[in-house]
Amino acid sequence: MASLRSLAAGLSTLGLSLALAGCGSSPGVGPSAGVGYETVIAAVVLAESEAGGRAFELEIEDGTAQVHVAAAGREVEVDVDLAGPTVTDRRDDGDLDPDDRATMDAAPTTLADAVRVAAAAHDGDGSVGEVSLEHGADAAWKVAFTDAGDVAVSVADGTIVRSAG
């Protein structure tokens, strides 16, 4: 009887280990990728909350996300330490660019939505390095990854416009 309990306990431990191993990474984010897209999204949400507006640009460098947020007609740059994530700095960068404002006003898809969609579509093993807003008739969020791949996500409906790498 004791040997059956030992066998059952061993199999339970093995099953748990296998289940946890299967949860180790997110789509588009491999073990060598660096910062996971969930952390990037958390940084964007935190920056938007801090500035009281909507993010429209993002750069990640040395463990810090520099998130540009449109708030009350102004551009506010919020630095977020990705280890926390925690806000480490906030600066008013002046009036919001009219092209950025017009594109965002017509865009139901958010920067965080674009990161989520792009990460799921990205075939490489790089993490998100930068997100920018492209203007014009084919307005899109351009999500650039650290492995030189990029995915453009439509601001109008959240579909993938193009993918490279």
Helical packing angle, 37-51 and 111-121, nearest 10°: 170
- The whole-number pLDDT of residue 165 equals 61
pTM for the predicted model, two decimal places: 0.77
Could you tell me where the beta strands, DSSP code E, fall in 23-147?
54-61, 64-71, 74-81, 86-95, 128-134, 140-145
Helix (H, G, I), strand (E, B) or coil at 77: strand
Pick the closest to residue 128 from 20, 19, 55 (CA basis).
Answer: 55
Mean pLDDT of successive 10-residue segments in the chain (165 residues)?
39 30 34 72 97 97 96 97 96 95 91 96 92 94 95 96 81
Confidence at residue 105, expressed as pLDDT on a 0 to 100 scale: 87
Average pLDDT, the chain: 82
